[in-house]
Amino acid sequence: MTKDNIISLPNKNLRQKSKTVTKITPTILKVIDDMTKATISWDTSREHEVGVALAAVQINELTRVIIVRQDYENKKDLTFIPFINPEITKLDGDIIEDFEGCLSVPDIYGKVPRYDKVKVKAINIDGKEFEITAKGFMARIFQHEIDHTEGMVFIDRIKDRQESFYRLNKDGKLERLDYEEVKKNTVLW
* Domains of the chain, first to last: 3-96+115-157 (3.90.45.10)
Residue type, 16: Q
What confidence tier does 26 reach under pLDDT thresholds 50, 70, 90? very high
User: What percent of the chain is modeled with pLDDT above 90?
Assistant: 92
Report field, pTM of the whole predicted structure over 0.85: yes
- Residue closest to 145 by CA, chosen among 100, 92, 175, 180: 100
pLDDT (0 to 100) of residue 73 = 87
Say if residues 13 and 7 touch (Cβ distance below 8 Å).
Answer: yes
Of 130, 121, 136, 131, the C-alpha closest to 52 is 136
Per residue in 83-117, pLDDT (tens digit) is 999 999 999 999 999 999 999 999 899 999 999 99
CA–CA separation, 61 vs 43, rounded Å? 20
**Radius of gyration, CA atoms only, the chain:** 16
**Residues tagged active-site:** 145
**For 40-70, what is each residue's pLDDT tens digit?**
999 999 888 899 999 999 999 999 999 999 9
